[in-house]
């Protein structure tokens, strides 16, 4: 069970809603993944727009929770304004906060991120900050009032998988009571199977070989 700002979430997978070939494919992906939260950029939902309204109604019909984001915002002012508009449109205090600092890697501007997070928390937002795996930045975000951290896994859309698993493990150990959502560039997450394997634990090490296949019932004994 994952707890995010007091809400208990069964699925540990968050799914984006951009770049699907059709609404039908998006709907099926949400259903098949069993996710309970989808991220939505304000650019995909324009107030008063016929296409945007249809998209929002489709998302609402899926029965999932919406996490609006400030995707592609490159300044504090732009991110804060987008967050305010998203809250009005989507009727939620949740916001995935992105303040992008590099056009090529889409790496967060951590200085602007902390500043924007502080502003939005003071306005009652429940902020999900897209950040780096830096512990000092994480400390500043928590001090600003964030109760969730979203460290990047790899550049957005790269599907490169974890580039610095050591840093992610360090963040988990340093903030044991903070909900962490590893975000961006993950590639192919194995959610259900991966979680079950983690809960099952690893085998105890042994000093000698042990056959994985039992000898009882062998067709031929040697």
Task: Give pLDDT, residue 173.
Answer: 94
| 197: helix, strand or coil | helix
Task: Give pLDDT, residue 95.
Answer: 95
Which domains are present in the chain? 2-200 (3.20.20.70)
Task: Give pLDDT, residue 44.
Answer: 47
Neighbours of 184 (CB within 10 A): 21
Return the active site residues: 96
Task: Give the integer Cα–Cα distance in Å for 76 and 108.
Answer: 12
Query: Residue 84 contacts by C-beta under 8 Å, 6 or more apart in sequence?
Result: 123
Using alpha carbons, list the distances in angstroms from residue 74 to 16, 65, 86, 153, 199: 20, 26, 17, 20, 39
Task: Give the integer Cα–Cα distance in Å for 109 and 102.
Answer: 7
The dihedral sign for the CA sequence 121, 113, 177, 63: positive
- Inter-axis angle of helices 110-122 and 135-144, to 10 degrees? 20
pLDDT in tens, the chain (222 residues): 788 888 888 888 888 887 788 888 888 888 888 888 998 887 644 555 555 567 777 878 888 889 999 888 889 999 999 999 989 888 899 999 999 888 888 889 999 999 999 999 999 999 999 999 999 999 999 999 999 999 998 888 777 778 888 999 999 999 999 999 998 887 766 766 556 656 666 556 655 544 444 445 444 444
Q: Are 130 and 184 in contact (CB under 8 A)?
A: yes
Using alpha carbons, list the distances in angstroms from residue 6 to 25, 69, 71, 153: 31, 19, 24, 25
């Amino acid at each position: 069970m994952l707890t995010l700002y007091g809400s208990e979430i069964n699925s540990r997978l968050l799914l984006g809603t951009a770049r699907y070939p059709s609404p039908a494919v998006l709907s099926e992906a949400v259903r098949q993944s069993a996710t309970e939260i989808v991220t939505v950029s304000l650019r995909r939902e324009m107030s008063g727009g016929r296409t945007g309204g249809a998209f929002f109604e489709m998302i609402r019909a899926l029965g999932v929770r919406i996490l609006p984001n400030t995707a592609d915002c490159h300044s504090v002012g732009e991110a804060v304004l987008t967050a305010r508009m998203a809250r009005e449109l989507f009727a939620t205090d949740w916001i995935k906060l992105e303040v992008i600092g590099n056009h090529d890697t889409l790496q967060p501007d951590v200085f602007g991120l902390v500043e924007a997070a502080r502003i939005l928390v003071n306005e009652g937002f429940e902020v999900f900050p897209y950040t780096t795996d830096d512990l000092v930045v994480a400390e500043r975000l928590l001090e600003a009032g964030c109760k969730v951290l979203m460290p990047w896994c790899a550049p957005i859309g790269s599907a490169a998988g974890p580039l610095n698993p050591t840093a992610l493990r360090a963040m988990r150990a340093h903030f044991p009571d903070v909900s962490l959502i590893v975000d961006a560039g993950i590639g192919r997450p194995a959610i259900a199977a991966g979680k079950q394997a983690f809960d099952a634990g690893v085998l105890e090490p042994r000093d000698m070989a042990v056959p994985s296949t039992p000898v009882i019932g062998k067709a031929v004994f040697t």
